[in-house]
Amino acid sequence: MKQDNTIGSIKLDLPDVSNTPHTPRPRTWSVGAALGAIGYGYVVVMIGFLYLPILVMALMSANASPLYELPFHFTTHWYQALAEDGVLKAAAFRSIEIALWTTLLSTVLGVMASLAFFRYDFAGKRFLQAMLFPPMAIPWLITGTAMLIFFFAIGIGRGLHAILLGHVALALPYVIIVVGARLRTFSPELELAARSLGASGWQITWRVTLPAIAPGVVAGALFAFAVSFDQFVVSYFLSDPGETTLPVEIYSAIRKGFTPEINAISTIIIVVSMGTMLIVSRLYRFGGEQ
């Protein structure tokens, strides 16, 4: 049946819909579901891309063949060898020690700096805040070279103390920025209220401000630990040949020949760091409430 699209003598320019059959919507298939499936597949591929190499490495650390040959034969041999490898073990403990000291120093200094930025207005504040970002963008190779030259020029030289100084300097901007972001959700009125109730500066910091920004402080500390523990370039430049950190030691071990011991220590590091991250993310939802 043709629809009459005229009213009086005026022809209405309407699309003719009367003859178009009403197409039923397919129940089992829609564009949304298709996109959903593609998105899901994409996530699976991404996760695989990230984790498969790590998984292979972990498997090989427990495979008997030193040449990565299959079939897989389970062994703890490489872990035992690692336990007996004094050089790698010493480097690992050195790395952990430096990372812990870096975490402690840069978190304390960084929180203090963030609080200063938060509480006070002073000349050059904006400039100082802006200057926090470039160090993160400058290649570590250049930072490392610059530190080496500078440390020699002022008599600090090379060694673990120089590595620690370098790591604290690298980690500080991360801590200040992460804690500063958390402080932006903190109302300055809370500190005023605490003052009006008679609290001293210390009491305010310990009992009001730090508890409120604790998730940010923990996140900043984790960043600091990661920056230090992962650090290769700057450590490489600043270390004495005999006494260095784990990444540098692994690098020189690989140059001599890749043994599954490296897989073993890498697997341990991954398990420990992922475990820490999981625990922390259970305790704190970053940026949100506790």
Partner 1 sequence: MAEVNVIKVSKQYGESRALDDVSIRFAEGGLYGLLGPSGSGKTTLLRMIAGFVFPDSGQIRIDDQPVERLPVERREIGMVFQNYALFPNMNVADNVAFGLSVRHVDKSEIKRRVGEVLDLVQLGSLHARRINQLSGGQRQRVALARAIVTRPRVLLLDEPLSALDKSLRVDMQVELRRIQRDVAITTVFVTHDQEEALTLSDRVGILRDGRLIQEGTARELYDQPASEFAATFLGDANILNGRLETGGMRINDGSLIRFGSRSAVSSQTKCAVRPEKIVLQRATGEATPSVHNRLTAQVAHHVFAGVNTTYMLDWCGQRLKVHVQNSGEDLIPVGSQVTLSWSPDSTILVH
Tokens of 240: 């004495």
As measured in angstroms, the least distance from the Cβ of 277 to partner 1 is 24
Instruction: Catalog residues that contact partner 1 under the rule CB under 8 A.
Output: 187, 189-190, 192-200, 203, 207-208, 211-212, 289-290
Q: Of the two residues 144 and 215, which places its CB atom closer to partner 1 in the complex?
A: 215
CB 229 within 8 A of CB 142: no
CA distance 172 to 176: 6
Give 124's DSSP letter.
T
SS (H, E, C) 261-279: HHHHHHHHHHHHHHHHHHH
Q: Of the two residues 20 and 196, which places its CB atom closer to partner 1 in the complex?
A: 196
Task: Say if residue 170 is exposed, middle or buried (CB neighbours under 10 Å; 0-12, 13-18, 19+).
Answer: buried
Q: Of the two residues 88 and 208, which places its CB atom closer to partner 1 in the complex?
A: 208
Q: Of the two residues 119 and 195, which places its CB atom closer to partner 1 in the complex?
A: 195
Q: Of the two residues 105 and 208, which places its CB atom closer to partner 1 in the complex?
A: 208
As measured in angstroms, the least distance from the Cβ of 188 to partner 1 is 9
- CA separation, residue 143 to residues 54, 147, 149, 167, 273 (Å): 29, 6, 10, 11, 26
As measured in angstroms, the least distance from the Cβ of 210 to partner 1 is 9
In DSSP terms, 11 is beta-bridged to 6
Within 8 A by CB and 6+ apart from 190, the residues are 208, 209, 212
Helix (H, G, I), strand (E, B) or coil at 195: helix
In DSSP terms, 155 is beta-bridged to none
> Which among 140, 90, 102 has a CA at the least distance from the CA of 249?
90
Q: Of the two residues 48 and 188, which places its CB atom closer to partner 1 in the complex?
A: 188
As measured in angstroms, the least distance from the Cβ of 67 to partner 1 is 57
H or E element, residue 11: strand 10-11
As measured in angstroms, the least distance from the Cβ of 192 to partner 1 is 6
Tokens of 289: 């409430």
As measured in angstroms, the least distance from the Cβ of 74 to partner 1 is 49
As measured in angstroms, the least distance from the Cβ of 187 to partner 1 is 7
> Which among 263, 250, 269 has a CA at the least distance from the CA of 59?
263
Q: Of the two residues 24 and 198, which places its CB atom closer to partner 1 in the complex?
A: 198
